[in-house]
Structure 1
Amino acid sequence: MKVASLLAIGWIVSCGIASFASAEDAHTAITPNEVKWGPGPKTLPTGAEAAVLFGDPTKEGPFALRLKLPAGYAIPPHTHPGLEVDTVISGTINLGMGETADRSAAKAIPAGGFFALPPGMAHFAYFDEETVVQLTNIGPWSIKYINPADDPRKTQ
């Protein structure tokens, strides 16, 4: 029942984003070769790359952001204040729930997979291969690490 609820929430958010975009007469069309990668946000461990496809993740409103995570990359346990709606574009994300990074409890979600997490749900991720994940959410997007020592902003 919880999975169905999360999928329904993701669908509702997606419809809301489509409605917002059409209401604002927004038009964005990007081919894979046109994606412009840059450094990942400072809220993530070093090594991530990011490409904003639509909107601005730091401001209120819809956005689409792709993250490219290298093989061997890990994101420690954390939460987000808003709904997290993600699609795996390539590679595989190993996604686990909880406040500790118990890799044995993670679920591998390959390319074409999808997940939606409610606000405040503690989770972690690790990547055995280069992986691209697309976040299609409502901003502002932020991250709060369960263990403040894991926050890369504290070491930069």
Structure 2
Amino acid sequence: MPDALTVIRHADRPSVTLPGGAAYQPIIGDDTGDGLPIRTGIQTSQPGYATPPHSHPYAEILTVIEGRGEAWLDGEEGVVMMEPGVTIAVPANRVHAFRVVGDRPLVTLGVHTNGKRIVNYVSPPQSPG
């Protein structure tokens, strides 16, 4: 971990396209070279977007900046509404998914409690909700 203040300018971080079409702008972690033990990024998901059920071997935290969505966690009843002012914390190794609700993009700030994004997709996919 760096021993000096790390300043990240979002305009300097390019976006990538995730499977399914969501735009993801990595801020800290993976190949950004910051040496920090977390990964953060801003994801913009268009109407109709849904993640396939998956898990991570670490906790994931999502804060909604704009739009609306639904989050699903395996083993829990129903879904949780995602909207501005809502943060969800997904436990490590728990299968989860989310989808956009409505006609506006869902913008989230994601924090992975690991410096590298690791995704374990469920095969065959489970049905959220």
| Common fold: TM-score over 0.5 | yes
Residue-by-residue CA offset, 1:58-80 (whole Å, 9 max, x unaligned) = 98722211111111001121111
* Unpaired segments ≥5 residues, structure 1: 1-19, 151-156
Counterparts of 1:34-73 in structure 2 under 5 Å? 34=11, 36-41=13-18, 45-56=19-30, 61-73=37-49
Runs (4 or more) in structure 1 with deviation over 6 Å come to 57-60
Mapped to 1, the partners of 2:88 and 2:31 lie a distance apart of: 18
Mapped to 1, the partners of 2:7 and 2:36 lie a distance apart of: 18
Give identity over the alignment, percent: 22
1:140 aligns with 2:113: no
Structure with bigger helix share is 1
Counterparts of 1:65-144 in structure 2 under 5 Å? 65-98=41-74, 105-128=78-101, 129-137=104-112, 138-144=114-120
User: How many positions carry a matched residue from both structures?
Assistant: 120
2:14–2:25 Cα contact (<8 Å) kept: yes
Mapped to 2, the partners of 1:68 and 1:113 lie a distance apart of: 16
Mapped to 2, the partners of 1:91 and 1:106 lie a distance apart of: 16
1:88–1:112 Cα contact (<8 Å) kept: yes
- Residues 55/146 of structure 1: CA separation in 2 closer, same or farther (3 Å cut): closer
